[in-house]
Copies of this chain bind each other. A is one copy, B any other.
Amino acid sequence: MKETLATASLSAEAYIILRERILRGELPIGQVVSRRKIAVELGMSMLPVSEALQRLELEGLLESRPRAGTRVKIPTEDEVRGHYVVREALEVQAAKLFAEVASASERAELQKLAARVDALSTKTGKDRFLYLSLHEKLHRRIAEGGHCQPLCDAIEKNQVLASTWLCVPRPKTTDEPPRRHQDLAAILCNESSKTAAEAMRKHVQNALKNTLARLESYFQIRETGKSVFARSVKH
């Protein structure tokens, strides 16, 4: 294991590493994680790992039961729907601000970024992570264009949760408009804040449908397995 990641504290290091694993799907939804195993793997005590896991749990990426176990959170349909209600509120606010105060260079970069995202939107497999990463960057740039740090932070946290869900493959790819993000970017850059808000609202509501389709198979898991935090390997 590489020791090259230098951070202020061990718990911060563990946090970054584990978060990355979850977001990249290396730890899939429902995967059980053990504090001790991760501690020996990262070459540190259980304590920094515990702090990192607690933080990830507070952010909604993990769930745990006292003295039973910790696993990558399995979302409920209501949670996903609710998550996108919050997301809509935040992203619409960001879109309005962007349309009002973003600089010319920020607008130019957004449109270029949108073109790249649309170009990658149909890719699957390895290129999908590139797409997800760029898509995330697109929304971050919109938030940054509003020049409001707390809003950026709120959107970032919100987005991270959804990233977990987008790693699961989609059952059947419904055909989407090939210029979704370019159209959105163009409106944010050239139209009024009111128009921008409505465009973003529709964009988010569309994303909700997409995500629901992706997670369909996970929504019943909670019922079937009464053994919630299985320690033995399921196969």
Contacts and interface: CB of A to CB of B under 8 A. Distances in A.
Contact of A54 (B51, B78, B146, B151): B51
Contact of A82 (B82, B90, B148): B148
Contacts of A8: 66
Interface in A87-108: 88-90, 92-93, 97
A151 B97 contact: no
Contacts of A47: 47
Given A86-B154, A154-B86, A149 B54 contact: no
Contact of A86 (B54, B85, B92, B151): B151
Contact of A79 (B54, B92, B150): B150
Nearest to A90: B89
A55 interface: yes
A86 B51 contact: no
Interface in A166-220: none
Contacts of A227: none
A46 B33 CA distance: 25
Interface residues of A, number: 27
Contacts of A6: none
A89 B9 contact: no
Nearest to A92: B89
Interface string A131-158: 0000000000000001011110010000
> Which of A51, A58, A85, A151 is the most central at the interface, judged by chain B CB atoms within 10 Å of its CB?
A85
Contacts of A149: 78-79, 82
Contacts of A9: 66
A83 interface: yes
B150 A83 contact: yes
Nearest to A158: B154
11 contacts: A9-B66, A47-B47, A51-B51, A58-B58, A81-B148, A82-B148, A82-B151, A85-B93, A85-B150, A86-B154, A89-B151
Given A81-B148, A85-B97, 18 more contacts: A8-B66, A54-B54, A55-B58, A58-B58, A78-B149, A79-B149, A79-B150, A85-B93, A85-B146, A85-B150, A85-B151, A86-B90, A86-B150, A86-B154, A89-B89, A89-B92, A89-B151, A90-B90
